[in-house]
Amino acid sequence: MDFGSTDVRDTCDDAAENGGRAAGAVGTRLRALATEAVHAGRDDLARQGLHAPPIDLSTTYPSYDSRGEAARIDAFATDGADPDGPPVYGRLGNPTVARFETALARLEGTQSAVAFASGMAALSAVLLVRNAMGLRHVVAVRPLYGCSDHLLTAGLLGSEVTWVDPAGITDALRPDTGLVLVESPANPTLAELDLRAIAHSCGTVPLLADNTFATPVLQRPAELGARLVLHSATKYLGGHGDVMAGVVACDEEFAGRLRQVRFATGGVLHPLAGYLLLRGLSTLPVRVRAASANAAELARRLRADPRVARVHYPRLGGAMIAFEIHGDPHEVIAGVRLVTPAVSLGSVDTLIQHPASISHRIVDAEDRRGSGVSDRLLRLSVGLEDVEDLWRDLDEALGSAPGDSSERELAAER
């Protein structure tokens, strides 16, 4: 793992050469990721005599110029461009949310970003954009986050999905394929994919990479060829377990379609959430770096532990660990004291959960196991606590997991 600032700056420079998308505000030179995290979306503040960004809670905006408003609405209906001039109505766009969108686009190296009420609202909007164009077929690689899998498998939005291995993507493409969907590292197994190779095998079909686990600190999929980069911003971007949100970083053309769907279907992000997310971004590089150092050390100790059968920790690094144990995973969940037994991830505190029971429960058991989510897998989202305290808690919780009696209970659950 190398989190050096030079490394980040080089990558940003590459992105800038690929269309200038990572360039800072007009008149500023290129800035490293850590600098963007603190300043992007706030470039106008000092000139306004402000330090903290204002929170604009207006749902509507007064205007004595209804001809001008009509023109802005017409322009939005044409290409979904963010309306120039004063805002019109909260569902069309909000200035506080726009600051978060600007900042996230800067970090991911895309032209634009569009924020939604949750990660699932963001994924739904992408599917609706493609479905409305008659491109209802999706090619996807398992595992995905349980609810993303469910949304596709159940066809809730009228999509039809073909599940493939990465090598099978090109053969699975059809004239009505509107999207290729992958996660890397994947939830919950942390399986890693070669995004550059996958983008190549998609041809002209947009690749959506869910970058929730890696964050732009560790990986920027747009630089590897993904047209759409999705986040459950509920996780690392917010980072404190107190805001639910989703966002899609992409080119301006696709962003326009997403804004039109967001306007028409209403999955908007609340301005307070936009504020909290912008604040979360400012510490994202520091949080990811510190939590990743903890996770790398815990992964090392788990690997060396005879009670642990297998540890999955990405080559990319990061703050997520998945591990399979010889004993009963339910006993580990019941045994933690410092670590919080809860679904979700990416918070300042450490969370543990049993995917087969919770995050991936909604996925058919055969499909779930087939994609590597074994009944003995635990998923750990490592936070910012002292690593010795974390290890002591895990060590005790693992110690309370007996090897033999649990075999029968697990077999009975199947």
Ligand X SMILES: *Cc1c(COP(=O)(O)O)cnc(C)c1O
Catalytic residues: 91, 145, 210, 235
**Which H or E run includes 397?**
helix 387-399
Pick 327 or 383: Cβ nearer ligand X: 383
Q: How far is the CB of 117 from ligand X (least distance, A)?
A: 8
Which one of residues 53, 87, 216, 246 is an interface residue with ligand X (CB under 6 A)?
246
Q: How far is the CB of 217 from ligand X (least distance, A)?
A: 16
Q: How far is the CB of 237 from ligand X (least distance, A)?
A: 10
* Residue count (the chain): 414
- C-alpha distance from residue 6 to each of 129, 303, 414 (Å): 38, 31, 50
Pick 212 or 260: Cβ nearer ligand X: 212
Region binding ligand X by CB under 6 A among candidate stretches 80-88, 141-149, 275-283, 372-380: 141-149
- Nearest-CB residue to ligand X? 119
Calculate the CA dihedral of residues 153, 155, 157, 158 and round it to 10 degrees.
Answer: 140
Pick 235 or 270: Cβ nearer ligand X: 235
Indicate whether 109 belongs to the interface with ligand X (CB under 6 A).
Answer: no
Task: Please give the residues from 158 up to 197 whose contact with ligand X meets the rule CB under 6 A.
Answer: 183, 187
Indicate whether 347 belongs to the interface with ligand X (CB under 6 A).
Answer: no
Indicate whether 243 belongs to the interface with ligand X (CB under 6 A).
Answer: no
Indicate whether 232 belongs to the interface with ligand X (CB under 6 A).
Answer: yes
Q: How far is the CB of 275 from ligand X (least distance, A)?
A: 17
Which one of residues 97, 120, 222, 247 is an interface residue with ligand X (CB under 6 A)?
120
Indicate whether 125 belongs to the interface with ligand X (CB under 6 A).
Answer: no
Exposure string of 245-274, with b = 16+ CB inside 10 Å and e = fewer, is bbbbbbbeebbbbbbbbbbeeebbbbbebb
DSSP 40-102: TT-TTTGGGT-SSPPP---SB---S-HHHHHHHHHHHHHH-PPPSSS--BTTT--HHHHHHHH
Alpha-carbon distance of 379 to 298, in angstroms, equals 13
Alpha-carbon distance of 208 to 230, in angstroms, equals 7
Number of neighbouring beta carbons within 10 Å of residue 73:
15
The structure tokens 């398992």 sit at: 142
Indicate whether 277 belongs to the interface with ligand X (CB under 6 A).
Answer: no
Indicate whether 119 belongs to the interface with ligand X (CB under 6 A).
Answer: yes
Which one of residues 3, 76, 100, 145 is an interface residue with ligand X (CB under 6 A)?
145
Binding residues for ligand X, total number by CB under 6 A? 15
Region binding ligand X by CB under 6 A among candidate stretches 64-72, 115-123, 288-296, 389-397: 115-123
Pick 243 or 299: Cβ nearer ligand X: 243
Q: How far is the CB of 38 from ligand X (least distance, A)?
A: 24
| Strand boundaries in 277-343, DSSP class E | 308-312, 320-325, 340-341
Give the sheet arrangement for strand 377-381, strand by strand.
308-312, 320-325, 377-381, 351-353, 340-341
CB neighbour list of residue 368: distance below 8 Å, 6 or more residues apart: 143, 355, 356, 360
| Strand boundaries in 211-356, DSSP class E | 228-232, 246-250, 308-312, 320-325, 340-341, 351-353
Alpha-carbon distance of 147 to 363, in angstroms, equals 8
Indicate whether 381 belongs to the interface with ligand X (CB under 6 A).
Answer: no
Q: How far is the CB of 224 from ligand X (least distance, A)?
A: 17
Pick 145 or 275: Cβ nearer ligand X: 145
Binding mask 192-231 for ligand X (x = CB under 6 A): ------------------x-x-------------------
- Interface with ligand X (CB under 6 A): 118-120, 145, 147-148, 183, 187, 210, 212, 232, 234-235, 244, 246
